[in-house]
Structure 1
């Protein structure tokens, strides 16, 4: 009997210790969680005391996340039963608002609570801000007290590293100062020749297709425009062609599509399954880290090649790659040991942002111009008048007023960026609204761009002429038109994007006329940017 008791005591002693440890950890976690929950509730109360309403949290642990998933599920089920088409016979100039299908929870709550409301995801309190006056005030804030939401930047780390798109605070300020110089308008003007060169293979390819099909050919433009935009960014920023960096672009695109498949990177709490693997099929089970390592290895090969070229040819014109290399060598005012990672991360950022948004915007431009061919004619007449040879030149590009109006209207109706998202790092005043530290602010750009209060009753119509007298006369609150973001984080590639769009579209329209193909299916999708879900199919003819 004594031996049995001794044996039980030997077993019970470590079990007791384990139970005490587990209990202690549980108490600590409960205290931490309780404090976070209390802080979240205090923030919510501060907002509600200012008249900001919103849906009550439906879950103690997850806030409004269950509501978001429920509203999403309901919207997707409804969408399956509705046939979507690009044409609207009753309203031929109407472009249907897609925000309710892509972001149904935002629209659902907007109809209930107005243009400013609050909701929560777990312990994080969010503030939806789509009131033009407040967005205008946000546009004026030039401090670092507003930055990228930390939960989003954490989830985007594999895709963007700690480059300029993801960085915050002083790290972001240093990187922006370095990279911005490459995209000043005078520098961009010098890139026009390379843009024209990069466009020639696309023009030649389409001409051959027309010859093969005898007068008319169907083209899915997205892939060709991505290759073109990738070639431009490769040449002007990194001193090599798209063919050398093709694998980088391909892998970044794959990562982008997979990470955005369920939109969970926006919330960072539930269902971020792709952090563990890229798919459920065995052949696709590549870890995020492995994919990240592959991309960084490919980029570093290109960097090493560029370093060798720089050492062999001292008269090479400086590009972004050389600026990054020089900054890494100096290592002044930047985080310790950033060196190689700093270069790779910013290459990833420029590769991704420098071609993806431009290619998508060009695709939407061609879709709308195919749908409204009279605007093709107007642009073509303007191009012929300014450039009889059909080849644009840098100094005359600003004179393409009709094309500029079309681009602005396309960016209004189909902006590539869906959100302006910010986090308050300190208590901050926006207009008459006091925003507590820790709150994430969201401005839904497509909704802002189609707001009848700002744009008039024809807000859903394709009417480029609304920009004929400039942005200031196009709407009531010009600073609420934010296709390139707002405030100090305004997209530094804005000049580069507009110039490239003008060059590419002028070249295409001067050589081809086109209409929408019957196979085109209008279905905008959100994959970190708003893009045509099934591509843009057009029927092209040679002029």
Structure 2
């Protein structure tokens, strides 16, 4: 028990004893305890916001954003904008220090922000020293269980050792036909929507389509189940996902607050118990997904047990089968892995695909160059699907997608916490210090990418395989270091397949010249109302 907890307990005992000695009623004692708790909270917040932050903290000498209010700090811009926006702005304007860190204040809470490549490297390459804060882990465990994203320390090491081979090149090679088939279904659906209008072109809202299509890819490659969400948008599995990962486009300001802002400032243990509509819908969606995945786990286990010949088509036909065949028997852990893959792999890929199509619409020269590369590569294929090697040989496609990844990381911020006190240069980081790493800000840092860091410029990847970055830690879309996303090659391949099929069949143009969709506030870079003009070729 910490000092603060002991002090709070001592105050509670003192208040109770005092009131009892003076003959107070039970109700009066409860009111007294409530009043003392509120007073302690107010004193604690005042101390952390007004005294510790400015005069005692070992990080008090670090710079912070200009125009930082004395009490609320930087909380207002952080909650009123998409998470990456203020962090990218502060990345440019806050002075660089010897340690490479600066600090921001979100109400009473202080966060260190690594700005320089040295500071980013320090945090990202030591994930077991700088681990996820308890509140973040609790939220992940409440929704996904202890999978690879939520696990820490030895548990994470064991899980990564188990799962890394399952996401290797050989599996990706086998999954290309499944991805290709789903990309063709998406293209057919888009063609159907375009023909409905005037037979040639129409304006389509892309994110709902990419959400359904990437869910279908995850379904067939991970579970071996055809969700068919693109052609049947009323599918229960898609409805469940929409409850778990809601779009705020048609929600009221109150619903947006409870769905996006509240999770950033309240403990998951309390948040998930609130009787609010967004929370209830989240639980309904998660319950459906958990039950559905558990049923698939039991079915796959039975299929593998019945396979006496160790047939590779049974044990390797999808990711779930491969996990079970690896020897993992704990159903709760298998469920955590599958929920994590379905959640992280689906939403992030859908967001990136939507942004990729939007950037093609904004940059017709880039689109023409990409289409020319595809036509040259497929000229003698007579409509056949491309192999993994053929897809990976498309150099301009890689360059284009890397630039989309750089500017639009699906998750713009990551939270970390110092597990022990440590020294970084001349900066002492105390145990428990909160740290926020922003892929959105680092990926757009002029110090790391040059003066044109905010520009969409595919050529940077043609000029250099690394995009001209000044550090290996300048590209954080998939995280980096020991906790780099093990599904990054899988996600990249599925996006390449979608783009090969779609760019070969459609021309994308801006629906409104110069228009840019609003980015949803919250933990992801989800676009709202992203629309493009789609024309049949």
Q: For the superposition of Structure 1 and Structure 2, which TM-score range results when normalised by the shorter chain? A: 0.7 to 0.9
Task: Report the more deviating stretch, 381-390 or 263-272.
Answer: 263-272
1:353 Cα deviation after fit: 0.7
1:254 Cα deviation after fit: 2.1
Equivalent runs, 1:432-511 vs 2, <5 Å = 433-472=427-466, 474-511=468-505
Aligned to 1:345: 336
Task: State how far apart, in whole Å, the 2-side matches of 1:35 and 1:328 are.
Answer: 50
Aligned to 2:371: 380
Preserved CA contact (<8 Å) 2:506 2:536? yes
1:531 Cα deviation after fit: 1.6
1:412 Cα deviation after fit: 1.5
Matched, 1:129 2:114: yes
Which one of the candidate residues 130, 145, 155 is aligned to 1:161?
145
Preserved CA contact (<8 Å) 1:145 1:425? yes
Preserved CA contact (<8 Å) 2:218 2:342? yes
Which one of the candidate residues 335, 339, 359 is aligned to 2:350?
359
1:493 Cα deviation after fit: 0.9
1:138 Cα deviation after fit: 3.1
Matched, 1:197 2:161: no
Task: State how far apart, in whole Å, the 1-side matches of 2:109 and 2:73 are.
Answer: 15
Per-residue Cα deviation, 1:187-230 (whole angstroms, up to 9, x for no partner): 22221111101212112122333333221122222122222211
Preserved CA contact (<8 Å) 2:74 2:105? no
1:320 Cα deviation after fit: 2.7
Equivalent runs, 1:23-38 vs 2, <5 Å = none
Other structure's SS at 2:113 match: strand
Per-residue Cα deviation, 1:229-276 (whole angstroms, up to 9, x for no partner): 112112222121224995345324422337983333334369976651
Task: Report the more deviating stretch, 239-248 or 200-209.
Answer: 239-248
Question: Are residues 12 and 517 of structure 1, via their aligned partners in 2, closer, same or farther at CA, if it must alter by over 3 Å?
Answer: same
Preserved CA contact (<8 Å) 1:68 1:105? no
Aligned to 1:237: 222
Aligned to 2:244: 255
Task: State how far apart, in whole Å, the 1-side matches of 2:88 and 2:533 are.
Answer: 36
Task: State how far apart, in whole Å, the 2-side matches of 1:288 and 1:211 are.
Answer: 36
Per-residue Cα deviation, 1:508-528 (whole angstroms, up to 9, x for no partner): 111211212239652122342
1:457 Cα deviation after fit: 2.2
Task: State how far apart, in whole Å, the 2-side matches of 1:352 and 1:469 are.
Answer: 35
* Alignment gaps of 5+ in structure 2: 1-19, 247-255
Task: State how far apart, in whole Å, the 2-side matches of 1:329 and 1:451 are.
Answer: 42
Matched, 1:214 2:199: yes
Task: State how far apart, in whole Å, the 2-side matches of 1:470 and 1:215 are.
Answer: 39
Task: State how far apart, in whole Å, the 1-side matches of 2:87 and 2:534 are.
Answer: 39
Aligned to 1:264: 262
Question: Are residues 382 and 224 of structure 1, via their aligned partners in 2, closer, same or farther at CA, if it must alter by over 3 Å?
Answer: same
Question: Are residues 481 and 260 of structure 1, via their aligned partners in 2, closer, same or farther at CA, if it must alter by over 3 Å?
Answer: farther
Question: Are residues 313 and 511 of structure 1, via their aligned partners in 2, closer, same or farther at CA, if it must alter by over 3 Å?
Answer: farther
TM-score with structure 1 length normalisation? 0.78
Aligned to 2:250: none
Matched, 1:322 2:307: no
Task: State how far apart, in whole Å, the 2-side matches of 1:274 and 1:103 are.
Answer: 27
Preserved CA contact (<8 Å) 1:43 1:436? no
TM-score with structure 2 length normalisation? 0.78
Per-residue Cα deviation, 1:357-399 (whole angstroms, up to 9, x for no partner): 1111111010010111111111111112222235321112222
Task: State how far apart, in whole Å, the 1-side matches of 2:192 and 2:238 are.
Answer: 26
Matched, 1:47 2:47: no
Equivalent runs, 1:8-87 vs 2, <5 Å = 15=25, 19=29, 41=52, 45=56, 47-48=58-59, 51-54=61-64, 66-71=72-77
- RMSD value over aligned CA atoms? 4.1
Task: State how far apart, in whole Å, the 2-side matches of 1:203 and 1:182 are.
Answer: 29
Which one of the candidate residues 511, 514, 517 is aligned to 1:522?
517
Preserved CA contact (<8 Å) 2:409 2:477? yes
Per-residue Cα deviation, 1:118-174 (whole angstroms, up to 9, x for no partner): 245577542111223321333433x51121121222234333222222222222222
Task: State how far apart, in whole Å, the 2-side matches of 1:17 and 1:366 are.
Answer: 62
Aligned to 2:403: 409
Preserved CA contact (<8 Å) 2:87 2:438? no
Task: State how far apart, in whole Å, the 2-side matches of 1:225 and 1:437 are.
Answer: 42
Aligned to 2:15: none
Task: Report the more deviating stretch, 247-256 or 111-120.
Answer: 111-120
Task: State how far apart, in whole Å, the 2-side matches of 1:201 and 1:113 are.
Answer: 50
Equivalenced residue count is: 491
